[in-house]
Chains A and B, each alone.
Chain A
Amino acid sequence: MIDAYRRFMNIEAPPAPQRPKGFFTDTSLCIGCKACEVACKQWNQLPADGNELSGNSYDNTGALGATTWRHVQFVEQAKANNSRVGQRWLMMSDVCKHCANAACLEACPTGALVRTEFGSVYVQQDICNGCGYCVPACPFGVIDRAPKDGHFEAGRAHKCTLCYDRQKDGLEPACAKACPTDSIQFGDIEELQAKARRRLADLRARGETSARLYGMPESTEAAEVGHLNAFFLLLDRPEVYNLPEVPRLPRKTMAQRYAISAVVGLAFAALSAVAFGRRSG
């Protein structure tokens, strides 16, 4: 039945699903070279966002956005007292997490956001109408709409595609290819997760007791958004890297919020009825 409809409407069959692929970003290996940021911009032909010294360590691009899909954070971490002992310079290459339960995808009313055969979350540019619902939905502040007078048509939503075009041709994403230290590893999610567990055990054994994995199926972050197809090994608490401790899925609180709106609405109705009732009476 569906097949007949597809043939009639001239719709291609969707590509067969594959074993999900993703990124394991091991921040303990990152040297902050930003090769990933440049490789991403070059492959995806994304423009530079402006030339301003931020004053925030060596990070001058600030955040992920419509035209920055990999972003390297620099955290200069010091102990409270003024001694330099124990001071660290943490680096982390941030990216779209390609969440198992992706809030952006749930919020998208047009079907522009889809789950690809590789398990990644992808914006179809020819369908996105620029409503922007995905932007506040993403608990990580990843997806963003193109600004006016920019490189892309204004308003459409953009983010990391997990190099869908490269994956189609059996190539790994540009950032993982460029990373000189293998801080960014690309591959089969289950294999990467196993590798990450081994790496964590190794680091812990070597005294990195605050090392942790972020976005594994068993970790607290997965409570609402599920595991992340781009997950991380961090050397400190997630807040240190600007990551939420428990990323929230808007859908989970929807009923509650409708209820609140209804109550507030009714309260206003009642108030105005009283006010107008008085005047007319």
Chain B
Amino acid sequence: MEMNGYTVRDGKQVADFAALKDDGSTACGVWIYSGVFPGEGQNMARRRNKGDGWISPEWGFAWPGNRRMLYNRASADPQGRPWSERKKYVWWDAAQHKWTGYDRPDFPDTKAPDTPGQEEGVGVDAHSGSDPFTLKADGRAWLFAPSGLKDGPLPTHYEPLESPVKNPVYRRQDSPIAKRFSRKDNPISAPGDPRFPYLATTYRVTEQYTSGSMSRWSSWLSELMPEMFAEISPELAAEKGIKNRDWIVVSSARGEIECRALVTRRLRPFQLNGALIHEIGLPYHWGYKGLVKGAMANDLVPLSEEPNVYIQEDKAFTCNIRKGRL
């Protein structure tokens, strides 16, 4: 009920988020789920009526307001007619003066397609009747992003902060606005640094969940992926005299870890600018506690931040490996 929202005075559930007020008379834990428990003993998520259409609006609940597709007004042209008869989804019913269709329209119900946007309007009132993207400031979708992104307006190619090669597209090697943390314990090795000739990437396996701090406490998941390992190609294994399951040390400019080698042909060396460059695959699910423990791949990763959402760059960096233990 907290999730669905209720009127504070009598504790009655609200029908959906349209009934929520900003004056304190209603309370709601998560507005997108508002409407999932619209009344006493009702749970929209439990509904199992397939119906005969292909949208099944009475099967379960989809947020917000049981809409199956967000921004679905875009399925109709500016005049409110379906773009395609075969794929018609929601449309403007001029006779009844409202939006209708197979799905619940994701648009103000009675706002006609020819309604002009209000110059001083707040929220969707500023949008015209042909602006489907209601959560965007201007109600439009953008192919070209002149504002909002720190590194827009168009996509381009930069090499990762650590890369074995020079950027083949521009003179500029890497993103000029990536956030770096220049500290002694966070060095970045330069392209072609002979100490770290290989590429490394980190990833997940399905059996463990992120850093494994939850899944490594389940015996059933732990037995399926019990130990930290590094995946290397047979070519690199032969070069380094490493056999499957041998202990190896993987090092980067920032640290080194020990783990088992898993030799597999799924890893294939890259041909970059005519040179053969090996790649090491590192799952990052282990740590120092749990039923199964192991080295942390993130100890090798450079600390950095992408300028928009501040995600660190751990899918590509450079490293070296050797047979043996730390």
Contacts and interface: CB of A to CB of B under 8 A. Distances in A.
B279 to A, nearest CB: 13
B226 A87 contact: no
A58 interface: yes
Interface in A32-62: 32-34, 37-38, 41-42, 47-53, 55, 57-58, 60-61
A47 B218 CA distance: 11
Interface residues of A, number: 24
Interface in B210-232: 219-227, 229
A57 B113 CA distance: 58
A279 interface: no
A33, A55, A57, A76: residue with the most chain B Cβ atoms closer than 10 Å: A55
B245 interface: yes
Nearest to A32: B206
Contacts of B265: 76, 78, 84, 87
Nearest to B262: A55
A89 interface: yes
A41 B220 contact: yes
Contacts of A84: 265, 268
B245 A60 contact: no
A60 B227 CA distance: 10
Nearest to B222: A51
B292 interface: yes
B55 interface: no
B292 A51 contact: yes
B224 A61 contact: yes
Interface in A52-87: 52-53, 55, 57-58, 60-61, 76, 78, 84, 87
A135 B268 CA distance: 42
B220 A55 contact: no
A57 B264 contact: yes
Interface in B254-277: 260, 262-266, 268
A60 B225 CA distance: 7
11 contacts: A47-B219, A48-B222, A48-B223, A51-B223, A52-B226, A52-B227, A53-B262, A60-B226, A61-B223, A84-B265, A84-B268
Interface of A: 32-34, 37-38, 41-42, 47-53, 55, 57-58, 60-61, 76, 78, 84, 87, 89
Q: Top 8 closest A-B pairs, CB basis?
A: A51-B226, A48-B219, A55-B245, A48-B223, A53-B227, A55-B244, A33-B206, A51-B292
